[in-house]
Amino acid sequence: MMRTQLEKTLLDKITDATSLKRKLAAWRFQDKKIVFTNGVFDLLHTGHITYLTKAAELGEKLVIGLNTDASVKRLKGPDRPVNDENSRALLLASFFFVDAIVLFDDDTPLGLINDLKPNILVKGADYAIENIVGAKEVIANGGEVKTIDFVEGFSSTSIIQKIKGH
């Protein structure tokens, strides 16, 4: 199947850790500030978009670590994710402010954070900085850790409950 240039552009954002490290090296050479966040991003909603745009504004390149389907099942239960990892990655890639998506299969992104060494690590403000996975490693590498407030009333879990009629 022939892909359009736009499809190729989207798919180029979805990468593996080895290829991403090459992109990061080029971005660092250009003095770009790299922001990293991670999550499941199952049913995208206003809260996700607000969070991700605020994360993107903290630097010049936004990298998202996306939990694989297997890790989501371990973390959230057998009925999750609703959308498979490829669909979730493609949806995230469609945002103009997202520069790269990398899947990870571990329960936490610590290994990925250690590999990628972002300038800024971002999580939701429901986490205390000292409890954020990878925070001490990012700080030890000279980076920063930031938290972003959630938009109240939005969560994938609440959307799923609403769909089920609960």
Using alpha carbons only, what angle is made at residue 135 by residues 132 and 140, rounded to the nearest 5 degrees? 165
Residue 124's beta-bridge partner residues?
148
**Distance between CA atoms of residues 100 and 111, nearest Å:** 17
Nearest Cα residue to 116 out of 96, 97, 141, 92: 141
**Distance between CA atoms of residues 48 and 46, nearest Å:** 5
Nearest Cα residue to 114 out of 142, 130, 134: 134
pLDDT for residue 148: 95
**Residue 161 and residue 153 in contact, taking contact as beta carbons nearer than 8 Å:** no
pLDDT for residue 157: 67
pLDDT for residue 121: 98
Domains of the chain (ranges; CATH) run 23-164 (3.40.50.620)
List the chain residues with pLDDT less than 50.
Answer: none
Can you give the pTM of this predicted structure?
Answer: 0.91
